[in-house]
């Protein structure tokens, strides 16, 4: 399985550094057939190009333990510290079938496995079906080819394929009555429960920041882009928006929770705008033909970078007033100061990451334009060294 970006929560929701996997590991072709078989029931059939001795899927909290049932006779699943392992007592196998029930829980540090939409539809995070396989003592990444089928009458919307890592991590697939609609260059699928102010804010900020990034960074979108918005837990107190951008996989997914979602308040519009501008900044960080975000990369580079790119875009497009930009910077500066400037915590990655970019003395636009050119020229991931080289040349 290949790397993907961690969560980019505007606030409340916590996350850690991205789950990263060894790069350039050998791969094995795997056909994955995901079928929606009943309202809350799914069936997954894996077919491996060659016999394997185990399937190793990175642990996702309680999800597999609670909701997965291995159907293939003689085979079982065991949860280890970091992986859920499906095996057949050491015997090689070429197929494996599991039954999965829709899971409503989730781990704060992970993508949500399932989202329920107000139209009765469900989206499934395909990345949770992907991982590695073992052949004896050798570990290979799945090079996955998905086939998706819904219930009768159900519309299935597949996430774009992974451009930077063919066969790599895929985003959310939607099963339900809705159709995606075109909004500029992106396709959007918005939960019908989404209140008007939120729909408007996501679409408006998405369109304006995209147009800005395209012009400022002199790059067009490389990915086919599918934006999904789902609403969950409207009974819970407060408000949270959690956005995720899946590296090279052409998808931004937002999950909004809390009863304040029904309130159109300027502060909430601001939170949402910042989050959308941040996610779109990642899309542009990834608008390169190779390189971008590497396994060993410090997350403060892409997260702090996205924060700085977002503030610039929000200011330049007039979506944020100068005061709002300054207030956000001041808040992040205070957070970073409390952390002693370190980027080894979730808050530090964002707050001190932003501070580090602010202190470089090079404009964020020329800096990231050079970063994108450098990653593409060498194939190397964004790095501190790349930043240093660019800064010293300016
Ligand atoms: Zn982010």
- Return the number of other C-beta atoms located less than 10 Å from residue 116's C-beta: 18
Give the Å distance between the CA of 47 and the centre of ligand 1.
34
Do the domain assignments include residue 197?
no
- Return the number of other C-beta atoms located less than 10 Å from residue 182's C-beta: 8
Nearest of 303, 293, 284 to residue 350 by alpha carbon = 303
Task: Provide the CATH number for the domain around residue 149.
Answer: 2.60.40
Do the domain assignments include residue 274?
no
Alpha carbon 375 to chain centroid, angstroms: 21
Sign of CA dihedral 192, 197, 198, 200: positive
Give the Å distance between the CA of 121 and the centre of ligand 1.
27
Tokens of 94: 């070429």
Give the Å distance between the CA of 262 and the centre of ligand 1.
25
Q: Give φ, ψ of 335 to 5 degrees.
A: -60, -45
Domain boundary among 153, 183, 208: 153
Tokens of 235: 């009974």
What's residue 106's pLDDT? 76
Q: pLDDT digit string (tens) for 156-169?
A: 999 988 888 889 88
Do the domain assignments include residue 92?
yes
Domain boundary among 121, 153, 185: 153
The SS3 of residue 192 is coil
pTM: 0.84
Distance CA 324, CA 320 (A): 6
What's residue 14's pLDDT? 23
Give the Å distance between the CA of 6 and the centre of ligand 1.
7
Domain boundary among 104, 138, 153: 153
Nearest of 18, 34, 19 to residue 114 by alpha carbon = 34
Do the domain assignments include residue 336?
yes
Give the Å distance between the CA of 351 and the centre of ligand 1.
12
Q: Provide the domain limits for residue 338.
A: 290-394
Number of domains in the chain: 2
Highest mean pLDDT among 96-110, 152-166, 251-265, 343-357: 343-357
**C-alpha count within 13 angstroms, C-beta hemisphere, residue 31:** 8
Distance CA 167, CA 28 (A): 10
For the chain, what is the mean pLDDT? Answer: 89
pLDDT value at 214 more than 90: yes
Q: pLDDT digit string (tens) for 40-51?
A: 999 999 999 999
């Amino acid at each position: 399985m290949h790397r993907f970006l961690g969560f980019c929560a505007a606030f409340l929701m916590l996350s850690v550094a991205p789950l990263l996997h060894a790069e350039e590991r050998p791969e094995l072709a795997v056909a994955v057939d995901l079928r929606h078989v009943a309202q809350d029931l799914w069936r997954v059939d894996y077919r491996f190009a060659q016999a394997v001795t185990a399937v190793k899927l990175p642990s996702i909290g309680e999800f597999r333990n609670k909701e997965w049932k291995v159907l293939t006779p003689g085979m079982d699943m065991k949860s280890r510290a970091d992986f859920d392992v499906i095996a057949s007592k050491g015997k090689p196998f070429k197929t494996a079938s599991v039954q999965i029930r829709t899971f409503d829980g989730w781990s704060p540090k992970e993508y949500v496995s399932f989202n329920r939409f107000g139209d009765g539809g469900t989206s499934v995070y395909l990345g949770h079906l992907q991982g590695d396989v073992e052949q004896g003592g050798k570990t290979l990444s799945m090079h996955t080819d998905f086939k998706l089928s819904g219930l009768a009458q159900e519309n299935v919307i597949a996430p774009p394929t992974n451009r930077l890592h063919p066969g790599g991590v895929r985003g959310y697939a939607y099963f339900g009555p809705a159709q995606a609609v075109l909004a500029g260059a992106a396709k959007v699928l918005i939960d019908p429960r989404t209140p008007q102010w939120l729909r408007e804010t996501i679409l408006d900020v998405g369109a304006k920041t995209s147009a800005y990034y395209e012009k400022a960074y002199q790059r067009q979108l490389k990915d086919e882009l599918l934006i999904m918005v789902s609403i969950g837990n409207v009974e819970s107190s407060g408000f949270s928006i959690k956005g995720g951008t899946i590296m090279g996989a052409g998808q931004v997914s937002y999950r909004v929770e809390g009863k304040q979602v029904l309130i159109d308040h300027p502060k909430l519009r601001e939170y949402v705008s910042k989050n959308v501008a941040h996610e779109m900044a990642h899309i542009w960080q990834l608008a390169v033909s190779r390189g971008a975000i590497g396994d060993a990369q410090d997350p403060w580079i892409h997260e702090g970078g996205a924060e700085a790119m977002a503030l610039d875009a929000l200011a330049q497009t007039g979506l944020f007033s100068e005061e709002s930009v300054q207030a956000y910077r001041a808040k992040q500066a205070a957070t970073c100061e409390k952390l002693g400037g370190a980027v080894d915590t979730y808050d530090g990655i964002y707050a001190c990451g932003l501070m580090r970019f602010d202190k470089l003395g090079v404009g964020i636009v020329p800096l990231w334009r050079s970063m994108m050119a450098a990653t593409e020229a060498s194939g190397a991931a964004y790095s501190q060294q790349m930043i240093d080289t660019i800064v010293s040349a300016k």
